[in-house]
Structure 1
């Protein structure tokens, strides 16, 4: 296995990878860090009718399939309801991830049924050979095994699996364009969903949670803890090969770029950070008040396809007033969070008047 750390070799080790190998590894890794291929519409995929995945009680049934190293889906069914654990730990991890997401959705939306309630809980594992990515393909979660150099198997992170399933929820509730600020909102909402699922399963409140997305995905050769940090965007990794985490947590550091669909993964740190500040200011379990408010906004279908941060901030404040009354502690904490990251709600922005 290659030593990803650039510079002199450690005592007792052979030479590290040459510069071309480092470049190749870094390029491949950055593609994963910035491009999770959330909506891979160009693939022609045949899927099971979602109605076939409902049990008699109307609950969604998790189904995990194995692609056996091919870049096709769904693959061979490996585990579904009422089956014992498979011998393959990736199959089991994916299955439990689907179960956790299903349980969390029932908890989060217990007071209102989301339009995404028909989300198919299907996953394909072992997609491609050493495939270093995960994505939502428009109908299911698809997980690669990782290259063993930069990334472990993508089933090793519950927050990442829930992130991809979050894209499925968003696909069925709102159609935010995957470019610029609307795309960054899409990525942020999937991150929020991923973080909340992990916190729910771990029994962590807002104060004790790590707020990391993709914790455990990096191999021990990488100097980093996760793909992204919602608590401190820009600090998830700082590695000689991958470079430093480029995310910004405030509008003052907004990244203007033509890459990454206009910086959707780079600037998602701004609404991510706002949610973290809001949830920790409220205290308790982040999914109970902060998360419920966030996804009630999504479920109202009040967000235009080209929504920017200011539009979303305004809608969250309106939702806070609907749920808690004008001038409530919840509304004040939310206003403070948006102010801290430099996002001006649309109705309050003089530049829009």
Structure 2
């Protein structure tokens, strides 16, 4: 029987793996699909490196620390995957003429200025840490991420996505992941993970609106506007004002974000739907910003930053964070407190009440039966775009059976399931591999070479 690619079950994020997977599935034989498959393969390679470190018992590290002269510097990976690459522009140096380099330079500079001038924060760690940003990562790499030590940006495939440095809010989004890591340290899973994503969108929006001089009322509240090329039917990656309306495209599918607890999605994909459910606190911030009036970075942004730095636990859920923002707003005025409390109530997160984690109408991708009968299922989710894609093959019937059996003979799912993995990382992919009822879920950074090849074989061809 020929292999089938199921329609992905959507969940929300900022280029989540599911979006890349869908594009690859819709373009199995052309350059666009190849670029997306290459991006996913690179992400898989990075997961493998961290997996091997975890098995060795040595402390996990991201990119090597490099000396930086000044507050920040931009490096180029030269379309390779070695980080940080070669330095190409320092903080005090002039434009290079390379669009990605100069966009990254401006994005880091303005992100540092936002947090320093509006929130009195010195770099992402509040200790003046130099910022390293690498561009031209991979070949046609459709993603951007913070790896715990530096910012990384791909060039896009040139067909669906342009370079990931072009929208300045993508730079602000990834920089804020570093800020969150050094403040609340929100776990990248479930509601805390969705808050992690939302906080990045919140300050990305503040950055963009501050540069454009837009008030909360005048802003469009789009995240990643300009990342899609003209062929795509969509305005941006996400809409904070109306989650779920940013794009609706034959290749990408429909924006899966939700904006209310009534639609909360329970799933084991995308680290528990962090990119989908982040639409709920995103919309709450938009509502609060409009109600408070003026500029988002000066009014609502101050409240959200105070909440983020108020000593939250890493497992903070929506209700706890809502309470923290209301407490911060109360320090401003009774009117501010009422506005923020009303925003959370509007999205179904009552202030002072526990939010049921299982609320909502979302569904998860189906799992293979225990007696799979030679069924291999691979699911990929997450990434900055936040899509979920799934493909399956039946051994013996599928023309790729020989390659699949070769790979499966070298993969021990039981051992992988029991091995220590690295913590989930913001905007990185998550894979689920199921073979005859045996299943393992791994982050992109923890994939072995065999699993990476298996994922490419099913999802990207």
Classify the TM-score, shorter chain: 0.7 to 0.9
Aligned to 2:332: 324
Aligned to 2:63: 45
Q: Deviations over 1:60-103 (max 9, x none)?
A: x2200010000121111000132221021111111011111111
Report SS of the residue matched to 2:234.
coil
Aligned to 1:233: 243
Query: Partners in 2 of 1:98 and 1:242 — Cα distance?
Result: 29
2:282 paired with 1:277 = no
Preserved CA contact (<8 Å) 1:233 1:249: yes
Classify 1:114/1:278 alpha carbon distance in 2 versus 1 (closer, same or farther; 3 Å): farther
Aligned partner of 1:291 among 286, 301, 305: 301
Aligned to 1:245: 255
2:315 paired with 1:339 = no
Report SS of the residue matched to 2:125.
helix
Preserved CA contact (<8 Å) 2:188 2:196: yes
Query: Partners in 1 of 2:247 and 2:38 — Cα distance?
Result: 15
Aligned to 2:197: 187
Look at both structures and tell me which one has the larger radius of gyration over its CA atoms: 2
Residue 318 (structure 1) shift: 1.3
Residue 53 (structure 1) shift: 4.6
Preserved CA contact (<8 Å) 2:221 2:240: yes
Preserved CA contact (<8 Å) 1:125 1:144: yes
Report SS of the residue matched to 1:287.
coil
Aligned partner of 1:305 among 298, 306, 314: 314
Preserved CA contact (<8 Å) 1:143 1:155: yes
Q: Deviations over 1:308-340 (max 9, x none)?
A: 10110111111122x224xx1101111110011
Report SS of the residue matched to 1:116.
coil
Aligned to 2:454: none
Classify 1:91/1:242 alpha carbon distance in 2 versus 1 (closer, same or farther; 3 Å): same
Residue 298 (structure 1) shift: 1.1
Query: Partners in 2 of 1:235 and 1:315 — Cα distance?
Result: 29
Residue 283 (structure 1) shift: 1.1
2:143 paired with 1:133 = yes
Report SS of the residue matched to 2:277.
coil
Q: Deviations over 1:209-235 (max 9, x none)?
A: 111111100011110011111010000
| TM-score, scaled to structure 2 | 0.64
Moved over 6 A (4+): 26-33, 112-115
Report SS of the residue matched to 1:288.
coil
Structure with greater strand share of residues: 2
Residue 273 (structure 1) shift: 0.1
Query: Partners in 2 of 1:274 and 1:30 — Cα distance?
Result: 35
Query: Partners in 1 of 2:316 and 2:107 — Cα distance?
Result: 30
Classify 1:27/1:88 alpha carbon distance in 2 versus 1 (closer, same or farther; 3 Å): closer
Preserved CA contact (<8 Å) 1:90 1:125: yes
Preserved CA contact (<8 Å) 1:30 1:242: no
Runs of 5+ consecutive residues of structure 1 not aligned to the other structure: 1-17, 55-60
| TM-score, scaled to structure 1 | 0.83
Residue 348 (structure 1) shift: 3.4
Residue 22 (structure 1) shift: 3.1
Report SS of the residue matched to 2:165.
helix
Matches within 5 A, 1:133-282: 133-282=143-292
Query: Partners in 2 of 1:162 and 1:209 — Cα distance?
Result: 17
Runs of 5+ consecutive residues of structure 2 not aligned to the other structure: 1-22, 51-60, 358-461
- After TM superposition, the structure 1 stretch with the greater mean CA deviation from structure 2, 82-91 or 183-192, is 82-91
Alignment size in residue pairs? 318
Query: Partners in 1 of 2:355 and 2:77 — Cα distance?
Result: 53
Residue 26 (structure 1) shift: 7.7
Q: Deviations over 1:92-123 (max 9, x none)?
A: 1110111111111122213x768722343221
Aligned to 2:27: 22
Preserved CA contact (<8 Å) 2:136 2:154: yes
Query: Partners in 1 of 2:355 and 2:327 — Cα distance?
Result: 18
